[in-house]
Homo-oligomer: A and B are copies of this chain.
Protein backbone atom coordinates (compact mmCIF):
# COMPACT_ATOMS: atom_id res chain seq x y z
CA UNK A 1 0.00 0.00 0.00
CA UNK A 2 2.23 2.77 -1.30
CA UNK A 3 0.84 6.12 -0.25
CA UNK A 4 1.99 9.54 -1.38
CA UNK A 5 2.87 10.65 2.17
CA UNK A 6 4.36 7.40 3.32
CA UNK A 7 7.04 5.14 2.06
CA UNK A 8 9.67 2.79 3.33
CA UNK A 9 12.95 2.45 1.46
CA UNK A 10 15.51 -0.13 2.41
CA UNK A 11 18.81 1.61 1.75
CA UNK A 12 21.24 -1.09 2.82
CA UNK A 13 21.16 -4.81 3.60
CA UNK A 14 23.68 -6.62 5.76
CA UNK A 15 25.63 -9.29 3.94
CA UNK A 16 25.82 -11.47 7.04
CA UNK A 17 22.38 -11.23 8.64
CA UNK A 18 18.88 -10.02 7.83
CA UNK A 19 19.74 -6.61 9.36
CA UNK A 20 18.84 -3.67 7.16
CA UNK A 21 18.89 0.12 7.05
CA UNK A 22 15.78 1.96 5.96
CA UNK A 23 14.12 5.31 5.66
CA UNK A 24 10.51 5.50 6.76
CA UNK A 25 8.76 8.63 5.50
CA UNK A 26 5.66 10.08 7.18
CA UNK A 27 3.80 13.39 6.86
CA UNK A 28 5.72 14.56 9.96
CA UNK A 29 9.14 13.68 8.65
CA UNK A 30 11.36 10.76 7.95
CA UNK A 31 12.99 8.35 10.36
CA UNK A 32 16.11 6.30 9.86
CA UNK A 33 15.67 2.66 10.80
CA UNK A 34 16.43 0.64 12.86
CA UNK A 35 14.94 3.08 15.34
CA UNK A 36 13.59 3.09 18.87
CA UNK A 37 10.12 4.53 19.54
CA UNK A 38 9.74 6.18 22.94
CA UNK A 39 6.50 5.81 24.86
CA UNK A 40 4.45 8.92 25.50
CA UNK A 41 1.84 6.81 27.24
CA UNK A 42 -0.63 9.50 28.27
CA UNK A 43 0.39 11.99 25.60
CA UNK A 44 3.68 12.81 27.36
CA UNK A 45 7.01 11.04 27.62
CA UNK A 46 7.12 10.43 31.36
CA UNK A 47 9.67 12.68 33.04
CA UNK A 48 10.92 14.52 29.94
CA UNK A 49 9.92 17.73 28.21
CA UNK A 50 9.13 17.13 24.57
CA UNK A 51 11.81 19.68 23.61
CA UNK A 52 14.42 17.65 25.50
CA UNK A 53 13.10 14.43 24.00
CA UNK A 54 13.75 15.90 20.57
CA UNK A 55 17.14 17.35 21.49
CA UNK A 56 18.15 13.93 22.79
CA UNK A 57 18.01 12.64 19.22
CA UNK A 58 14.56 11.08 19.26
CA UNK A 59 13.04 10.44 15.84
CA UNK A 60 9.65 9.03 16.75
CA UNK A 61 7.36 8.58 19.75
CA UNK A 62 4.22 6.60 20.41
CA UNK A 63 1.15 7.30 22.46
CA UNK A 64 -1.36 4.82 23.84
CA UNK A 65 -4.88 4.88 22.48
CA UNK A 66 -6.17 3.19 25.61
CA UNK A 67 -4.92 5.95 27.91
CA UNK A 68 -5.85 8.81 25.61
CA UNK A 69 -9.38 7.50 25.03
CA UNK A 70 -10.00 7.54 28.79
CA UNK A 71 -8.22 10.81 29.56
CA UNK A 72 -8.63 13.42 28.13
CA UNK A 73 -10.62 11.61 25.41
CA UNK A 74 -10.22 11.60 21.61
CA UNK A 75 -12.78 14.35 21.01
CA UNK A 76 -10.89 16.81 23.17
CA UNK A 77 -7.58 15.93 21.51
CA UNK A 78 -9.18 16.37 18.08
CA UNK A 79 -10.66 19.71 19.16
CA UNK A 80 -7.18 20.82 20.32
CA UNK A 81 -5.84 20.12 16.82
CA UNK A 82 -4.68 16.52 17.29
CA UNK A 83 -2.08 14.92 19.47
CA UNK A 84 0.93 16.40 17.66
CA UNK A 85 -0.21 19.94 18.33
CA UNK A 86 -1.64 19.13 21.79
CA UNK A 87 1.67 17.81 23.09
CA UNK A 88 3.99 20.01 21.04
CA UNK A 89 5.66 17.21 19.04
CA UNK A 90 6.06 17.82 15.32
CA UNK A 91 7.85 14.60 14.40
CA UNK A 92 6.58 11.15 13.40
CA UNK A 93 4.24 9.45 15.86
CA UNK A 94 2.62 6.06 16.26
CA UNK A 95 -0.44 5.12 18.26
CA UNK A 96 -1.27 1.58 19.26
CA UNK A 97 -4.79 0.24 19.05
CA UNK A 98 -5.78 0.18 22.70
CA UNK A 99 -5.90 -3.62 22.67
CA UNK A 100 -2.76 -4.30 24.64
CA UNK A 101 -3.81 -2.33 27.71
CA UNK A 102 -7.41 -3.55 27.67
CA UNK A 103 -6.26 -7.13 27.75
CA UNK A 104 -3.26 -6.73 30.02
CA UNK A 105 -5.39 -4.71 32.42
CA UNK A 106 -8.24 -7.07 31.83
CA UNK A 107 -6.20 -10.07 32.78
CA UNK A 108 -4.86 -8.11 35.74
CA UNK A 109 -1.20 -8.28 34.80
CA UNK A 110 1.36 -5.57 34.07
CA UNK A 111 -1.25 -2.88 34.25
CA UNK A 112 -0.36 -0.96 37.36
CA UNK A 113 3.19 -0.32 36.23
CA UNK A 114 2.02 0.96 32.86
CA UNK A 115 -0.31 3.36 34.54
CA UNK A 116 2.52 4.68 36.68
CA UNK A 117 0.82 3.56 39.87
CA UNK A 118 2.79 0.62 41.15
CA UNK A 119 1.51 0.41 44.66
CA UNK A 120 -2.17 -0.01 43.99
CA UNK A 121 -3.55 -3.42 43.18
CA UNK A 122 -6.01 -3.12 40.35
CA UNK A 123 -8.86 -5.47 39.76
CA UNK A 124 -9.16 -6.91 36.28
CA UNK A 125 -11.18 -4.43 34.24
CA UNK A 126 -12.04 -6.45 31.13
CA UNK A 127 -15.73 -7.17 31.40
CA UNK A 128 -16.57 -8.98 28.17
CA UNK A 129 -14.91 -9.91 24.92
CA UNK A 130 -16.76 -11.15 21.86
CA UNK A 131 -16.65 -10.97 18.09
CA UNK A 132 -17.88 -7.39 18.17
CA UNK A 133 -15.20 -6.03 20.49
CA UNK A 134 -14.13 -5.66 24.09
CA UNK A 135 -16.05 -4.12 26.96
CA UNK A 136 -13.99 -2.77 29.83
CA UNK A 137 -14.13 -0.46 32.78
CA UNK A 138 -12.09 2.75 33.00
CA UNK A 139 -9.46 2.57 35.73
CA UNK A 140 -10.00 6.29 36.26
CA UNK A 141 -13.70 6.64 36.87
CA UNK A 142 -15.17 3.14 36.47
CA UNK A 143 -17.08 4.19 33.34
CA UNK A 144 -17.85 1.38 30.88
CA UNK A 145 -16.21 1.58 27.43
CA UNK A 146 -16.64 -0.64 24.41
CA UNK A 147 -13.72 -0.82 22.00
CA UNK A 148 -14.24 -2.27 18.54
CA UNK A 149 -11.88 -2.33 15.56
CA UNK A 150 -13.90 0.51 14.01
CA UNK A 151 -13.87 2.54 17.22
CA UNK A 152 -10.09 2.07 17.59
CA UNK A 153 -9.61 3.40 14.05
CA UNK A 154 -11.90 6.35 14.81
CA UNK A 155 -10.04 7.20 18.01
CA UNK A 156 -6.65 6.86 16.33
CA UNK A 157 -7.89 9.08 13.50
CA UNK A 158 -8.91 11.74 16.02
CA UNK A 159 -5.57 11.48 17.80
CA UNK A 160 -3.91 11.88 14.40
CA UNK A 161 -0.68 9.86 14.71
CA UNK A 162 1.14 9.07 11.47
CA UNK A 163 1.35 5.34 12.04
CA UNK A 164 -1.62 3.51 13.49
CA UNK A 165 -2.28 -0.10 14.38
CA UNK A 166 -5.18 -2.55 13.96
CA UNK A 167 -7.06 -3.70 17.04
CA UNK A 168 -6.08 -7.17 18.18
CA UNK A 169 -6.67 -9.38 21.16
CA UNK A 170 -3.53 -9.63 23.19
CA UNK A 171 -3.58 -13.06 24.79
CA UNK A 172 -1.83 -13.70 28.09
CA UNK A 173 1.32 -15.82 28.30
CA UNK A 174 -0.23 -18.89 29.83
CA UNK A 175 -3.00 -19.73 27.30
CA UNK A 176 -3.20 -22.97 25.33
CA UNK A 177 -2.64 -23.35 21.61
CA UNK A 178 -6.35 -23.77 20.95
CA UNK A 179 -7.20 -20.43 22.59
CA UNK A 180 -4.25 -18.80 20.81
CA UNK A 181 -5.50 -20.07 17.45
CA UNK A 182 -9.08 -18.93 18.04
CA UNK A 183 -7.91 -15.59 19.33
CA UNK A 184 -5.62 -15.15 16.32
CA UNK A 185 -8.46 -15.88 13.92
CA UNK A 186 -10.62 -13.27 15.64
CA UNK A 187 -7.73 -10.80 15.60
CA UNK A 188 -7.47 -11.37 11.84
CA UNK A 189 -11.16 -10.61 11.42
CA UNK A 190 -10.70 -7.53 13.61
CA UNK A 191 -7.72 -6.55 11.45
CA UNK A 192 -9.85 -6.76 8.29
CA UNK A 193 -12.53 -4.63 9.94
CA UNK A 194 -9.80 -2.18 11.05
CA UNK A 195 -8.46 -2.08 7.50
CA UNK A 196 -11.90 -1.52 6.00
CA UNK A 197 -12.66 1.29 8.43
CA UNK A 198 -9.22 2.78 7.82
CA UNK A 199 -9.68 2.74 4.05
CA UNK A 200 -13.14 4.30 4.34
CA UNK A 201 -11.52 7.42 5.85
CA UNK A 202 -8.07 7.25 4.31
CA UNK A 203 -6.95 10.78 3.42
CA UNK A 204 -3.25 9.97 3.17
CA UNK A 205 -2.42 11.31 6.63
CA UNK A 206 -2.08 7.96 8.35
CA UNK A 207 -0.69 4.53 7.50
CA UNK A 208 -1.89 1.26 9.02
CA UNK A 209 0.12 -1.55 10.56
CA UNK A 210 -1.20 -5.10 10.75
CA UNK A 211 -0.26 -7.30 13.71
CA UNK A 212 1.11 -10.83 13.55
CA UNK A 213 -0.31 -13.10 16.24
CA UNK A 214 0.10 -16.82 16.82
CA UNK A 215 1.91 -16.95 20.15
CA UNK A 216 4.84 -19.34 20.37
CA UNK A 217 3.42 -21.75 17.75
CA UNK A 218 5.29 -21.72 14.41
CA UNK A 219 2.31 -23.06 12.41
CA UNK A 220 0.06 -20.31 13.80
CA UNK A 221 2.73 -17.67 13.15
CA UNK A 222 2.77 -18.97 9.55
CA UNK A 223 -0.99 -18.45 9.22
CA UNK A 224 -0.67 -14.98 10.69
CA UNK A 225 2.29 -13.87 8.56
CA UNK A 226 0.44 -15.11 5.45
CA UNK A 227 -2.55 -13.08 6.58
CA UNK A 228 -0.68 -9.78 6.97
CA UNK A 229 1.42 -10.37 3.82
CA UNK A 230 -1.78 -10.88 1.82
CA UNK A 231 -3.45 -7.69 3.01
CA UNK A 232 -2.53 -4.12 2.09
CA UNK A 233 -1.01 -3.00 5.38
CA UNK A 234 1.70 -0.35 5.18
CA UNK A 235 3.73 -2.10 7.87
CA UNK A 236 3.72 -5.09 10.17
CA UNK A 237 3.98 -5.38 13.92
CA UNK A 238 5.08 -8.54 15.65
CA UNK A 239 2.71 -9.01 18.56
CA UNK A 240 1.27 -11.64 20.84
CA UNK A 241 3.13 -13.85 23.24
CA UNK A 242 6.81 -14.22 22.40
CA UNK A 243 7.38 -16.91 24.97
CA UNK A 244 8.64 -17.25 28.50
CA UNK A 245 12.38 -16.78 27.94
CA UNK A 246 14.71 -14.60 25.88
CA UNK A 247 15.78 -17.59 23.78
CA UNK A 248 12.19 -18.48 23.02
CA UNK A 249 11.53 -14.85 22.10
CA UNK A 250 14.47 -14.81 19.68
CA UNK A 251 13.15 -18.06 18.17
CA UNK A 252 9.60 -16.80 17.78
CA UNK A 253 10.75 -13.50 16.25
CA UNK A 254 13.18 -15.34 13.95
CA UNK A 255 10.51 -17.77 12.75
CA UNK A 256 8.09 -14.93 12.16
CA UNK A 257 10.56 -12.68 10.37
CA UNK A 258 11.60 -15.47 8.02
CA UNK A 259 8.06 -15.59 6.65
CA UNK A 260 7.24 -11.86 6.50
CA UNK A 261 7.07 -9.70 3.39
CA UNK A 262 10.58 -8.19 3.39
CA UNK A 263 9.53 -4.94 1.72
CA UNK A 264 7.36 -3.58 4.52
CA UNK A 265 8.65 -1.99 7.74
CA UNK A 266 8.41 -4.27 10.75
CA UNK A 267 7.83 -3.16 14.33
CA UNK A 268 8.52 -5.38 17.34
CA UNK A 269 5.97 -4.52 20.02
CA UNK A 270 7.10 -3.86 23.59
CA UNK A 271 10.73 -4.97 23.35
CA UNK A 272 13.52 -2.64 24.47
CA UNK A 273 16.38 -4.56 26.10
CA UNK A 274 19.78 -3.88 24.55
CA UNK A 275 20.52 -7.52 23.82
CA UNK A 276 16.99 -8.02 22.50
CA UNK A 277 17.37 -5.10 20.12
CA UNK A 278 20.59 -6.53 18.68
CA UNK A 279 18.83 -9.85 18.19
CA UNK A 280 15.79 -8.19 16.61
CA UNK A 281 17.86 -6.07 14.26
CA UNK A 282 19.73 -9.08 12.89
CA UNK A 283 16.38 -10.68 12.17
CA UNK A 284 15.23 -7.66 10.19
CA UNK A 285 13.21 -5.69 12.75
CA UNK A 286 13.06 -1.99 11.85
CA UNK A 287 11.49 -0.37 14.90
CA UNK A 288 11.15 -1.17 18.61
CA UNK A 289 9.23 0.33 21.48
CA UNK A 290 9.27 -0.24 25.19
CA UNK A 291 8.60 1.71 28.38
CA UNK A 292 11.77 0.18 29.85
CA UNK A 293 14.30 3.03 29.24
CA UNK A 294 12.05 5.71 30.70
CA UNK A 295 10.58 3.47 33.39
CA UNK A 296 13.87 2.34 34.90
CA UNK A 297 14.97 5.98 34.93
CA UNK A 298 12.11 6.69 37.31
CA UNK A 299 13.41 3.90 39.52
CA UNK A 300 16.94 5.36 39.60
CA UNK A 301 18.36 3.25 36.76
CA UNK A 302 20.89 4.56 34.23
CA UNK A 303 21.48 2.53 31.05
CA UNK A 304 25.18 1.85 30.52
CA UNK A 305 27.58 -0.02 28.29
CA UNK A 306 30.13 -2.62 29.39
CA UNK A 307 33.00 -1.03 31.29
CA UNK A 308 30.90 1.62 32.98
CA UNK A 309 30.44 -0.11 36.31
CA UNK A 310 29.07 -3.32 37.77
CA UNK A 311 25.46 -3.74 36.68
CA UNK A 312 24.82 -6.94 38.63
CA UNK A 313 23.88 -8.75 35.45
CA UNK A 314 21.53 -6.05 34.17
CA UNK A 315 21.93 -3.40 31.50
CA UNK A 316 21.77 -0.46 33.89
CA UNK A 317 23.28 0.94 37.08
CA UNK A 318 21.02 1.49 40.07
CA UNK A 319 22.11 4.92 41.24
CA UNK A 320 20.28 4.55 44.54
CA UNK A 321 23.03 2.16 45.54
CA UNK A 322 25.26 3.57 48.27
CA UNK A 323 28.40 2.74 46.28
CA UNK A 324 27.68 5.83 44.15
CA UNK A 325 27.63 8.18 47.15
CA UNK A 326 31.11 9.54 46.47
CA UNK A 327 31.44 8.66 42.79
CA UNK A 328 32.26 11.99 41.21
CA UNK A 329 32.35 10.70 37.64
CA UNK A 330 29.44 11.05 35.22
CA UNK A 331 27.43 8.00 34.18
CA UNK A 332 29.19 8.02 30.79
CA UNK A 333 32.00 10.43 29.90
CA UNK A 334 31.12 10.21 26.21
CA UNK A 335 27.38 10.82 26.58
CA UNK A 336 26.14 14.26 25.51
CA UNK A 337 23.06 14.26 27.77
CA UNK A 338 22.36 16.95 30.39
CA UNK A 339 23.23 14.60 33.24
CA UNK A 340 26.52 13.31 31.85
CA UNK A 341 27.77 16.73 30.76
CA UNK A 342 27.05 18.57 34.00
CA UNK A 343 26.81 16.29 37.03
CA UNK A 344 28.20 13.18 38.70
CA UNK A 345 26.74 9.89 39.83
CA UNK A 346 27.26 11.15 43.41
CA UNK A 347 24.95 14.10 42.74
CA UNK A 348 22.32 11.86 41.12
CA UNK A 349 22.59 9.54 44.13
CA UNK A 350 22.03 12.54 46.43
CA UNK A 351 19.02 13.71 44.41
CA UNK A 352 17.47 10.23 44.53
CA UNK A 353 18.02 10.03 48.29
CA UNK A 354 16.59 13.53 48.75
CA UNK A 355 13.56 12.57 46.60
CA UNK A 356 14.17 15.38 44.14
CA UNK A 357 12.16 14.69 41.00
CA UNK A 358 14.83 16.17 38.76
CA UNK A 359 16.86 13.00 39.41
CA UNK A 360 14.20 11.10 37.51
CA UNK A 361 14.14 13.72 34.76
CA UNK A 362 17.90 13.66 34.34
CA UNK A 363 18.01 9.86 34.26
CA UNK A 364 15.14 9.83 31.77
CA UNK A 365 17.08 12.14 29.45
CA UNK A 366 20.19 10.02 29.88
CA UNK A 367 18.32 6.84 29.00
CA UNK A 368 16.61 8.42 25.99
CA UNK A 369 19.98 9.72 24.78
CA UNK A 370 21.49 6.28 25.42
CA UNK A 371 18.86 4.50 23.33
CA UNK A 372 19.19 6.98 20.48
CA UNK A 373 23.00 6.59 20.52
CA UNK A 374 22.62 2.82 20.66
CA UNK A 375 20.36 2.75 17.61
CA UNK A 376 22.65 5.18 15.80
CA UNK A 377 25.62 2.90 16.53
CA UNK A 378 23.60 -0.07 15.32
CA UNK A 379 22.82 1.73 12.05
CA UNK A 380 26.53 2.48 11.64
CA UNK A 381 27.29 -1.18 12.31
CA UNK A 382 24.84 -2.33 9.64
CA UNK A 383 26.19 0.26 7.19
CA UNK A 384 29.75 -0.99 7.75
CA UNK A 385 28.69 -4.63 7.83
CA UNK A 386 30.22 -4.90 11.27
CA UNK A 387 27.38 -5.12 13.75
CA UNK A 388 29.37 -7.61 15.81
CA UNK A 389 31.92 -5.06 16.99
CA UNK A 390 29.11 -2.59 17.81
CA UNK A 391 27.48 -5.34 19.83
CA UNK A 392 30.70 -5.91 21.77
CA UNK A 393 30.80 -2.25 22.76
CA UNK A 394 27.15 -1.97 23.82
CA UNK A 395 26.04 -5.39 24.94
CA UNK A 396 26.77 -7.10 28.25
List residues of A whose CB falls within 8 A of some B CB.
42-51, 67, 71-72, 76, 79-81, 86-88, 116, 325-326, 328, 338, 342-344, 346-347, 350-351, 353-358, 360-362
Contact = CB atoms under 8 A, between A and B. Distances in A.
Given A49-B358, A361-B361, 5 more contacts: A42-B350, A42-B351, A79-B326, A80-B346, A116-B355
A362 B80 contact: no
Contacts of A357: 46-47, 357, 360-361
A366 to B, nearest CB: 12
Nearest to A298: B357
B87 A347 contact: yes
Nearest to A43: B350
A44 B79 contact: no
A292 B207 CA distance: 47
Contacts of A76: 325-326, 346, 350
B80 A42 contact: no
B51 A342 contact: yes
Contacts of A338: 49, 51
A43 B48 CA distance: 20
**Interchain residue pairs A-B with the least CB separation, the first 4:** A88-B342, A42-B354, A72-B350, A88-B343
A347 B49 contact: no
A358 B44 contact: yes
A358 B357 CA distance: 10
Given A71-B350, A86-B344, A87-B347, A358 B46 contact: yes
Contact of A44 (B67, B81, B351): B351
A156 to B, nearest CB: 18
A52 to B, nearest CB: 8
A79 to B, nearest CB: 7
13 contacts: A43-B354, A44-B356, A45-B358, A49-B338, A50-B343, A72-B346, A76-B346, A79-B326, A80-B347, A86-B350, A87-B347, A116-B355, A361-B361
Contacts of A50: 342-343
B346 A71 contact: no
Given A44-B351, A71-B354, A361 B49 contact: yes
Contacts of A67: 354
A348 to B, nearest CB: 10
Contact of A42 (B47, B88, B356, B360): B356
B80 A353 contact: no
A85 to B, nearest CB: 9
B116 A325 contact: no
Contacts of A353: 71-72
Contacts of A79: 326, 328
Contacts of A81: 328
B47 A358 contact: yes
Contacts of A45: 358
A48 B81 CA distance: 28
A82 B10 CA distance: 52
A183 to B, nearest CB: 31
